[in-house]
Amino acid sequence: SFPVQWNGTVKAMLNYQEPPPEGKRTGRYINCPDEGELVDEHIPTCVDMQDGRKLQPAASLSCEGFCLATNFVTSLSQSDFTEKPERVKSVYYKEIRDLVKAQTGASKVFVFDSTLRNSQEATSLNATGTTKKAAPVLRVHCDYTETGAPRRFVQLASDDDFRTTNEPESFPTKAEAEAIVNDKDGQRYAFINIWKSIDVQNSVLERPLAVCDARSVSDEDRFLYELHFPHRVGENYSLNHTTNSKHKWYTFNKMSSNECLIFKVYDRVEPKFVFHSAWNDPRGGFSSYR
């Protein structure tokens, strides 16, 4: 064995997306037939992975588009996350709402798409819910687009299950949501991701998350990635691998269960989009839940 140097910059391989050939679009089919219109090809690309803990001043939502929250305490046990979905929704969701309000200044926060990820026990890439285990996503992407985020906002306003989970009286109705997204100077809304470990004994060493400084990505670097579900089409952004040399990537190594990586995947104000990806850290060793 040999000592592992966790500080500083390391070389990392990230899976950037190959732009589609003529006549095709980039994306994948999820729980529906492959109609042959989408291609999903990756280009492993070497990047400099910098230590996010060394940033001075510390990373922030208003500058890089991401930040690390420390000293987060949940009243749930590790087993609650996999065995008691009702406690996740009734207790943990409130804790997350309070965290996001404190970090962003938001007046209202609503939680959805809770996902457990585990490298060794994943059932699929797209498993969602409070007990199913999904694989880490080893693909550079951002979860929403300029057009997809407003559409998803309106869709959530029409989702009875979502409204039941999130204090339904306080979320906009479909008509109110449509008015908000159609008023370009109207009320601000954002989609925020919270990434954390639920393993109270081990730090995250295997396939941690990397985030890209939003200021290092130009509009022309990104292109559409379609997610075809049975009843709707979601939109991600992918990044062109030919522009990777200017992208500034960071990871927060050895994250513990009381730390939360918070990052924007859409905001009405800049920075709007934080690209991210799980990655194979050559210094890592074993798995943990997150």
Judged against a pLDDT cut of 80, whether residue 201 lies above it is answered with yes
Q: Tokens in use for 265? A: 């995947």
In this structure, the strands spanning 133-134 and 190-196 are unpaired
Q: How confident is the model at residue 288, as a pLDDT?
A: 47
Predicted confidence band at 51 (pLDDT cuts at 50, 70, 90)?
Answer: very high
Phi then psi for residue 279, to 5 deg, are -150, 155
> Cβ distance 212 to 276 under 8 Å?
yes
Q: From 111, 192, 210, select the one nearest 149 (Cα to Cα).
A: 192
pLDDT digits (tens, 9 = 90+) for 238-261: 998 888 889 999 999 999 999 999
Spatial separation of the C-alpha atoms in residues 264 and 204, rounded to whole Å: 21
- 161 or 14: which carries more pLDDT confidence? 14
Which range scores top for mean pLDDT: 26-35, 120-129, 163-172? Answer: 26-35
- As beta bridge partners, residue 251 has 51, 210
Q: Is 211 in contact with 204 (CB distance < 8 Å)?
A: no
What percent of the chain stands above pLDDT 90? 61
The model carries a pTM of 0.88
In which band, very low, low, confident or very high, does the pLDDT at 121 lie, cut at 50, 70 and 90? low
With tokens 């057009």, the residue in question is 147
Q: What is the average pLDDT across 65-75?
A: 95
Rounded to the nearest 10 degrees, the angle between the axes of helix 148-157 and helix 174-182 is 160
Q: Dihedral, CA atoms, 150, 151, 153, 157, nearest 10 degrees?
A: 140
Q: State the average pLDDT for the chain.
A: 87
Neighbour tally for 181: CB within 10 Å: 19
